Amino acid sequence: MRIAMIGQKGMPAKYGGVERHVHELSVRLVELGHDVTVYSRPWYTDKTITEFEGVNIQSINSIHTKHLDAITHTLVSTIHAICQNYDIIHYHGVGPALLSWIPRIFSPKTKVISTFHCIDRYHQKWNWFARLILRIGERATCTFAHKTITVSKSLKQYCFNEFNVETKYIPNGVSKQTKPEGNKILNDFGLEKEKYLLMVSRLVPHKGAHLLVEAFSNLKINHKEDSVIRDLKLVIVGGSAYTDDYVHNLHKQAGVCNDIIFTDYQSGENLRQFFGNCFSLVHPSMNEGLPITVLEAMSYSKPVLVSDIPEHLELIQDIRAIIFNKNDVQSIESKIYEFLHLPEEEREKIGRRNLKNVEKNYSWEIVVPQIDAVYNIVQPNKVLEYVRTVV
């Protein structure tokens, strides 16, 4: 099949959960024999890149502002896509899905798939009007697509409760990880293996970095005689997403503690080294779809400390000892302290359990066939054509 991906910033993925999802999915769909095109924004993906790991990269301009970037890119990408006779147009995110009615009208033979990644209107960076539009986008995601995919069970239930639509639950996938070979990036930032906590995220308010910074600073002050805590650092990997003021305030807030390190966005081997050598990942988010960074840490057999939102509980519901209350600095501090003083064998047991959970439920080997099956269901004639060619 010929498949177009619309809604992501681009490929290859530098940062962003949706971008990593689309990157990994597209490469594997190509391996299955599909012809996949990913629509990219020139500020994210170099215009000269037209192919990556077998995936076609189509650069389309956008109005690169906070409120217009995604929707203008989606509009122009959609107009381009309906002229290419794709079998499938797959929209990622409720904002881009606002325009999923266009191919339904102007390219009726093309099947439309939408993936509901997150309830974006809960994000604090949006004003009331943007939240209204995103709410309309949620309905569009569940209305215009031939099939809607939800990445978490809570989102599946949300779509049923709000729009009376049965969606297909297919979680985010994660690759099997191997131990990183080097530690150059650690040396660059003055870090030692397993002597730092890690947060990987876009620095936007709903991800809760400000809560973690305050909790970690308090931990240092309240337990300055504890050797484990005295030598511990906090590494925050990520940068602004039209949130420069928030990032500036984060750096100012962290100024009281010399052991908080901001690295900006990292990818590739650098990110693998951060994941593979950390003591644990901490994810204080107040709103998620299904967090890929948590899955990635689990795939390295790492324990993760997370807030008690439903999407986190789907991943590690059996490990209450390292789940803290969302939007609660004191709870974050106390859970980190408890975790740091667990016996080593208990921490390793948690890590092994996380890895087993990922391999059983969230590996790409499990996820991709489910998405491919959705494509085949909405495009049955293509399946018959393939069978005839094989026979």
Consecutive sets of 10 residues in the chain, 391 residues long: mean pLDDT of each?
A: 96 91 96 97 94 96 90 96 96 94 95 91 74 90 95 93 94 86 89 95 94 96 91 95 92 94 92 94 92 93 93 77 91 95 91 92 95 88 45 41
How many other CB atoms are found less than 10 A from the CB of residue 317?
A: 11
- The token pair that represents 250 in the structure block: 């984060």
Count of residues making up the chain: 391
Q: What does the pLDDT read at residue 268? A: 87
SS3 348: helix
According to the model, what pLDDT value does residue 382 have?
A: 53
Residue 390: what pLDDT?
40
CATH superfamily of 184-361: Glycogen Phosphorylase B; (3.40.50.2000)
Q: According to the model, what pLDDT value does residue 381 have? A: 58
E runs forming strands in 54-200: 55-59, 88-92, 111-116, 147-150, 168-169, 196-200
Query: Cα dihedral angle (358, 364, 367, 370), rounded to 10 degrees?
Result: -150
Is the bond preceding 12 in cis, omega lying within 30 degrees of 0? yes
Dist CA 374 CA 391 (whole Å): 23
The angle formed by the CA atoms of residues 76, 20 and 160, to the nearest 5 degrees, is 75
CB of 377 closer than 8 Å to CB of 147? yes
Using CA atoms, how far apart are residues 120 and 265, in angstroms rounded to an integer?
Answer: 21
Helices first, then strands: H and E counts in the chain: 16, 14
Helix axes 17-31, 364-378, angle to 10 degrees: 70
- Please give the single-letter amino acid code of residue 82: I
User: What DSSP state is assigned to residue 321?
Assistant: G
> What was the pLDDT predicted at 185?
93
| pLDDT at position 143 | 93
Helix axes 128-143, 153-163, angle to 10 degrees: 90
For 255, the token pair is 């100024």
In the chain, list all ranges with CATH 3.40.50.2000. Answer: 2-173+363-390, 184-361
Give CATH superfamily name and number for 2-173+363-390.
Glycogen Phosphorylase B; (3.40.50.2000)
For residue 221, what are the β-bridge partners? Answer: none
The position carrying tokens 């594997």 is 28
Distances (CA, A) of 15 to 30, 32, 38, 237: 22, 25, 16, 10
Alpha-carbon radius of gyration of the chain: 21
**What is the full DSSP assignment across 242-288?**
S-HHHHHHHHHHHTT-TTEEEEE---HHHHHHHHHH-SEEEE--S--
- What pLDDT is stored for residue 161 in this prediction? 94
For 225, the 3-state DSSP assignment is coil
Cβ-contact 342, 321 below 8 angstroms? yes
pLDDT of residue 318: 60
Residue 199 is predicted with a pLDDT of 97
Q: Residue 385 has what pLDDT?
A: 47
pLDDT at residue 317, as a whole number: 60
Backbone angles phi, psi at 206, to 5 degrees: -70, -10
Sign of torsion, CA 215 221 223 224?
A: positive
Q: What is the DSSP letter of 52?
A: E
